[in-house]
Copies of this chain bind each other. A is one copy, B any other.
Amino acid sequence: MGSCDTCLVRNRAICSALDGEEVQLLNAIGRRKALAAGDPLIWEGDDSLLVANVIEGMLKLTNSTEDGREQIVGVVYPSDFIGRPFGARANHSVTALTDARVCIFARSDFDRFAADHPALEHKLLERTLTELDRTRSWMLLLARKSAEEKVATFLLDMSARLVDSTCTTPHHGPLDEFELPFSRQQIGDILGVTIETVSRQMTRLKRDGVLDLPTRRSVRILDRLALEAMAG
């Protein structure tokens, strides 16, 4: 209980770079932590004191202006890495979107351990490069796309991303039916638009027969080609 042996993400997280003995060592410096939806883990601007791996659940990374406008700058899923190693400052807040479990390390402990384990750093580098690419691609959406394009892109992105978590179906490729893990407000915070704009775009997609929205949180894509055309 609570050891790496039984860890759900043992084979996908950066720990997969380590052999049995090394995992023991890492296990010794980390500990599990449970978060309820809404719980904060890291505050923007604070000293960077901890890093973590997501075991279960989803968390958001946010930046805010002084007057309270918030932007979700990233969402992390199981096996993803959280925090800022090798740096003094946390540049964004991290908050649980759902109930979640994470495996946390004091940053100084982790930094030391990483320095001794190049394979771990290599995994972390690959992940960070991928995340940087993903983030940069998202900038195009935030800066240049219309609300319609944003919502269409978001839905396609979710449809592709949520595949991993549904191991029930043997079929691969993007899902045409899924549950949104976000509220309308959170979708707005991700896309950089207001909740009303998200709502209007969703309604319009439904009216035009591109989607069906059986419940608030569920989406069924009826016309994927149309949705892709709208995504710009």
Q: Which residues of A contact B (CB under 8 A)?
A: 61, 63-67, 69-71, 73-74, 84-87, 91-92, 115, 118, 121-122, 124-126, 128-133, 135-140, 142-145, 191-192, 232
**Cβ contact within 8 Å between A139 and B71:** yes
Q: Are B136 and A73 in contact (CB under 8 A)?
A: yes
* 11 chain-A/chain-B pairs, Cβ below 8 angstroms: A61-B136, A63-B139, A71-B139, A73-B139, A87-B133, A91-B136, A124-B125, A138-B139, A139-B139, A143-B143, A144-B192
Report the separation of the CA atoms of residues A138 and B139 in the bound assembly, to the nearest whole angstrom: 8
User: Which 7 pairs between the two chains have the least Cβ-Cβ distance?
Assistant: A143-B192, A118-B118, A73-B136, A63-B140, A91-B133, A142-B143, A142-B142
User: Hey, which chain B residues are within 8 Å of A69, CB to CB?
Assistant: 140, 144
Q: In the bound complex, how far is the Cα of B126 from the Cα of A115, in angstroms?
A: 12
CA distance A136 to B91 in the complex (A): 9
Closest residue on chain B to residue A119 by CB atoms? B118
Q: Are A92 and B136 in contact (CB under 8 A)?
A: yes
